Each structure stands twice: as C-alpha cells, then as structure tokens.
C-alpha cells in the first residue's frame, strides 16, 4: 500500500540540518557545504547509519556554512548563501532555489513529493520537469546527449549480447546529472542509494519526472551552479577527484574482443598508424589468457608477452590488459592464483558461513570463485598478482566482469541467466572494497572513479517569502 507524508508537525535546527517531522516520517535537509544540500527521507522516522564504503564523507567532515530557518505560513525555509530549501506544509514536498537569481532548481509541485510502500521497500519521488529542462550525464549511456525522453535504470549487468542506442544496461551507471534550464543555467543532482533505482524522464506524467528505488533511503544531493564547471567542482569536491593521469592516458584507447594472438594485435597497431588514426593504448583482452584465466598468458597466442609489449611501444602504443575478479575453479591444481586463494581462504563462501563451500558461478573461464575484497589482506594479495602483467610492461588495466556478470550455467549457453547472489551482496556490505593498489612503478591508468547522467526552465513566480 502506497504511503505519503502527512502534515508538517514540527521542525528543529541542529547545526546545519533542518529536521522536519511529518507525523512519523522525518525529512532531514542539510547544508553540507556552501552550494551543496542533502535531502533525506526516513519514512519510519529514523535514518540508516553511514556505511564505511560510502564515497561521500560524513556531513560533519567539513565545517558547515551559516544557515538560518524562516517560517513562511505553515511552510519552512532553510537559508544559506547559495541555496534555499523550502519544505511545504504537507506531503514532504520540497523545492530548492538559488537566492542570487531566484531560479528554481528543483520543485516537487503540488502533486509531487515522496511516496513509499508499506512496509518500507520500494519508494519514489515525483518532481516537476518543465519543458525547457535538459538532463545530461548518468554516466555511460547510449542515445542522445540530452537524456530527457527515456527511462534509465541504475543496476548494471554485462550486456555483451547487443549494444545500441536503446541499450540501458551499460558498464557504469551513476545517478548524477547536470540539469540545465532554458536560460543555460545549470545545477546538479545525485541520488545516494546502492539499491536498484531508476530515473524516468519520459514525460509520460506530463512535465513530471519520477525517481524510484527498490530499497534503502531516498537520499539526494543538490549542487548549485549556475555554470556546469561550478556544478562539477562541487560534486567532485564531495565525492573525490581523480588524480591527474599521464597525458597518454587521455588519448584514444583501442580495445576489442577477439584478437587471435600477438600477430593480429600487431597488425591492428600497424593499421591504426597507416590510416593516421591517433591512438595511445592497445588492449589485450581475455582471449590472450590461458583459458580466460586471470593473470595468465596463453603460451600459444602470446608466447612472448614482454616482446609483444615492447614492439607495441616501438610503434608508440602503451599496452593494456583485462583483469577479471572471477577466478577459474581449478581444484585439481595447475592454476596458482586459484590454488593460493583457496588455501588461504580468500574466496567468498556460499551462504556466508565460514564452513560453507565456495560461492561458484559461471563467468568467461567457466565455473569461478570470487575473492572477498571486503578483506584488506585479500585486496593486498590481489594487488600483488598484477605483477604478472606489469612485469611484461603492461601500463594499464581494465577491471572487468564483476558480480552482475555471474551466470547460472556456461556463459555461452543461450539459456544462461544472470545471477546476483545474496552472499555476494552481503559480502560487499561489510566494508569498503577499494580498487587494488597498482603495483606498476610509474602507476597505472584507471578510468575516473565516479562521475556520471540529465534539465528545466526557471520559475520565478510562486509563494516564496
């Protein structure tokens, strides 16, 4: 049964956080730092604790800016220099505006606001989406630059069967968007939720958008502009910024599946140069591994890895390769990575119990075990195995095929289904699993960790006090 917040009964200010009680459900609005506000809903009245793996710092990590609260009839407004958040007297409805220009950045409208299932589970938040509003970002997405007009899900799976303008399941889905109105003024929006979620920008509701989550909190951030650069600076100031990579890492990376071996790789390199196509990196995918086993080389296809990498370097290419966390289940020996991991107890158990067998699922090598990256000793062990590729001169790595790629039978089987095991989800909630530290002396190139995905006209009229 769908639930909504009732009437605003009381409010109180704690530091830079305005707590609003709607007769059980509680809305918390925090000015995290200048130009950044956080809006959280707790339908049952209590908020979940911060997780250790959260990419966002605690709200108190930075001294908050000065704020003040003003009552406007039965509504309440939280003021800061760059953003003002208005809480309407009913329904937990919210609007955010820029006090410098009067521009409305976000507005639930009279029929919008949060809704949730009872007991808590799926939830949604409806907002106005005026005709002149444009939405950009949401990370790796097919289709037009302006994301308005489609529904986007945030729950990536390995969609290798077909990719095109209508493909939703790509490799990175981050619910962050830069929203721009018809005057070119921008602001940013971020959903902080790891459950399956979706952003409906189809306009089927008539100039309204809908954000939905399958579980967890409706926890959102709004970033002031008005320039896109200011939005991104505030966003990355909160989530973290990628260290400046080497210059060559910003060039074209040529990566494809299916090279038959070293000769075909070198042929592709020569063709790129002959055709005058600028390229800095050429990747060796898992077909150049022994039976798709991570941290191996196929002795038939790549008999001299270091020689191949050196020849690519003479042609002006850096070499990259793929590392998969699915480790081929080889209980009979012959695969040191698996043997070592199994002997040390580094793989996830099936069912979460220490005495249980290994969690085994199908990925490209066949049946695979999965390292428990929530443990620091496992991360250090995994990082050390990168020497297999870095000693050959490989300069960058693609971390591929995480848990959404698990299948219930051989991956080539048309009937294979993707599976996301409960045990895997449980393991990832125990602590933060940082990316393994690169062991290359000069450092290795990784794609930026966390940016990106979606806009609207200004509204200068309304019951602002």
- What the block records as the tokens of 292 is 């798709």
The domain spanning residue 181 has which CATH number? 2.60.40.1760
- What the block records as the tokens of 77 is 């407004």
**Residue 148 and residue 53 share a domain:** yes
Mean model confidence pLDDT for the chain: 86
Q: Which residues contact 447 (CB under 8 A, 6 or more apart)?
A: none
- What the block records as the tokens of 289 is 């591994």
Q: For the segment 295-351, what is each residue's pLDDT rounded down to a tens digit?
A: 999 999 999 999 999 999 999 999 999 999 999 999 999 999 999 999 999 999 987
The domain spanning residue 369 has which CATH number? 3.20.20.80
Instruction: Specify if 447 maps to a domain.
Output: no
**Residue 277 and residue 222 share a domain:** no
**Residue 103 and residue 28 share a domain:** yes
Q: Determine the pLDDT at residue 465.
A: 30
Q: Is the pLDDT of residue 377 over 90?
A: yes
Closest CA to 144 of 152, 153, 154: 152
Instruction: Specify if 34 maps to a domain.
Output: yes
Domain that holds residue 147: 2-239
Instruction: Specify if 452 maps to a domain.
Output: no
Place of tokens 């591994």: 289
Supply the DSSP string of 288-308, one letter for each residue. Answer: GSGGG-TT---TTT-S-HHHH
Q: Determine the pLDDT at residue 444.
A: 34
Instruction: Specify if 228 maps to a domain.
Output: yes
Instruction: Specify if 145 maps to a domain.
Output: yes
Closest CA to 42 of 68, 17, 67, 62: 17
Q: Determine the pLDDT at residue 350.
A: 87
Question: Total structural domains in the chain?
Answer: 2
Instruction: Specify if 97 maps to a domain.
Output: yes
Using the 3D structure, point to which of 221, 239, 257 is the last residue of a domain. Answer: 239
Q: Is the pLDDT of residue 160 over 70?
A: no
Using the 3D structure, point to which of 174, 205, 239 is the last residue of a domain. Answer: 239
**Residue 89 and residue 178 share a domain:** yes
**Residue 111 and residue 40 share a domain:** yes
The CA distance from 308 to 302, in Å, is 8
Q: For the segment 4-56, what is each residue's pLDDT rounded down to a tens digit?
A: 999 999 999 999 999 999 999 999 999 999 999 999 999 989 998 888 778 78
Using the 3D structure, point to which of 222, 239, 256 is the last residue of a domain. Answer: 239
Q: Determine the pLDDT at residue 402.
A: 61
Instruction: Specify if 450 maps to a domain.
Output: no
CA atoms within 13 A on the CB side of 204: 6
**Residue 393 and residue 316 share a domain:** yes
Query: Where would I find the beta strands (DSSP E) of 162-227?
Result: 176-180, 186-191, 197-200, 208-213, 218-223
pTM score, whole prediction: 0.79
Closest CA to 77 of 111, 124, 31, 113: 31
Q: In which band, very low, low, confident or very high, does the pLDDT at 210 lie, cut at 50, 70 and 90?
A: very high
What are the angstrom distances between the C-alpha of 449 and each of 162, 189, 203, 353, 438?
A: 25, 18, 31, 32, 14
**Residue 331 and residue 196 share a domain:** no
Place of tokens 């950009």: 136
**Residue 223 and residue 303 share a domain:** no
Q: Determine the pLDDT at residue 134.
A: 96
**Residue 296 and residue 165 share a domain:** no
Q: In which band, very low, low, confident or very high, does the pLDDT at 201 lie, cut at 50, 70 and 90?
A: very high
Q: Are 356 and 347 in contact (CB under 8 A)?
A: no
When pLDDT is averaged across residues 233-247 and rounded to a whole number, the result is 92
356/403: higher pLDDT: 356
**Residue 233 and residue 251 share a domain:** no
**Residue 150 and residue 73 share a domain:** yes
**Residue 184 and residue 285 share a domain:** no
Q: In which band, very low, low, confident or very high, does the pLDDT at 190 lie, cut at 50, 70 and 90?
A: very high
Instruction: Specify if 14 maps to a domain.
Output: yes
Distance of CA 368 to the CA centre of its chain: 25
Q: Is the pLDDT of residue 143 over 90?
A: no
Q: Is the pLDDT of residue 435 over 50?
A: no
């Amino acid at each position: 049964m769908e639930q909504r917040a009732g009437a605003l009964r009381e409010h109180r200010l704690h530091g830079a956080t305005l707590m609003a009680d709607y007769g059980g459900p509680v809305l918390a609005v925090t000015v995290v730092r200048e130009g950044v506000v956080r809006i959280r809903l707790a339908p049952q009245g209590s908020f979940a604790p911060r997780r250790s793996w959260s990419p966002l710092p605690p709200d108190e990590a930075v001294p908050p800016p000065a704020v003040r609260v003003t009552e406007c009839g039965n509504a309440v407004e939280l003021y800061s220099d760059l953003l003002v958040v208005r809480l309407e007297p009913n329904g937990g409805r919210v609007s955010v505006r820029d006090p410098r220009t009067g521009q409305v950045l976000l507005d639930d409208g009279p029929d919008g606001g949060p809704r949730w299932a009872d007991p808590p589970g799926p939830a949604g938040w409806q907002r106005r989406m005026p005709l002149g509003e444009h939405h950009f970002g949401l990370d790796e997405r097919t289709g037009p630059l302006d994301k308005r007009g489609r529904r986007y899900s945030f729950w990536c799976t390995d969609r290798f069967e077909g990719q095109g303008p209508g493909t939703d399941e790509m490799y990175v889905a981050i619910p962050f968007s830069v929203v721009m109105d018809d005057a070119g003024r921008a602001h940013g929006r971020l959903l902080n939720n790891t459950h399956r979620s979706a952003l409906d920008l189809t306009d089927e509701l008539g100039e309204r958008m809908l954000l939905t989550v399958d579980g967890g909190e409706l926890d959102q951030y709004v970033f002031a502009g008005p320039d896109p650069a200011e939005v991104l600076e505030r966003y990355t100031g909160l989530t973290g910024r990628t260290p400046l990579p080497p210059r060559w890492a910003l060039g074209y990376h040529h990566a494809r599946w299916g090279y038959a071996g070293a000769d075909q790789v070198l042929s592709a390199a020569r063709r790129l140069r002959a055709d005058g196509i600028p390229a800095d990196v050429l990747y060796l995918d898992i077909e150049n591994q022994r039976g798709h086993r991570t941290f191996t080389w196929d002795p038939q296809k790549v008999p001299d890895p270091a020689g191949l990498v050196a020849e690519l370097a003479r042609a002006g290419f850096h070499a990259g390769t793929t590392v998969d966390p699915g480790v081929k289940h080889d209980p009979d020996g012959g695969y040191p990575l698996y043997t070592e991991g199994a002997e040390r107890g580094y793989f996830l158990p099936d069912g979460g119990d220490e005495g249980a067998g290994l969690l085994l699922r199908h990925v490209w090598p066949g049946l695979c075990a999965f390292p428990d990256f929530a443990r620091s000793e496992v991360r250090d062990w995994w990082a050390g195995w990168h020497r297999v590729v870095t000693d050959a001169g490989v300069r960058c790595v693609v971390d591929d095929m995480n848990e959404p790629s698990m299948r219930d039978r051989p991956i080539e089987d048309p009937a294979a289904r993707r599976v996301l095991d409960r045990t895997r989800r449980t393991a990832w909630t125990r602590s933060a699993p940082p990316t393994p530290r690169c062991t290359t002396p000069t450092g290795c190139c990784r794609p930026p960790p966390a940016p990106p995905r979606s806009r609207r006209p200004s509204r200068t009229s309304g019951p602002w006090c």
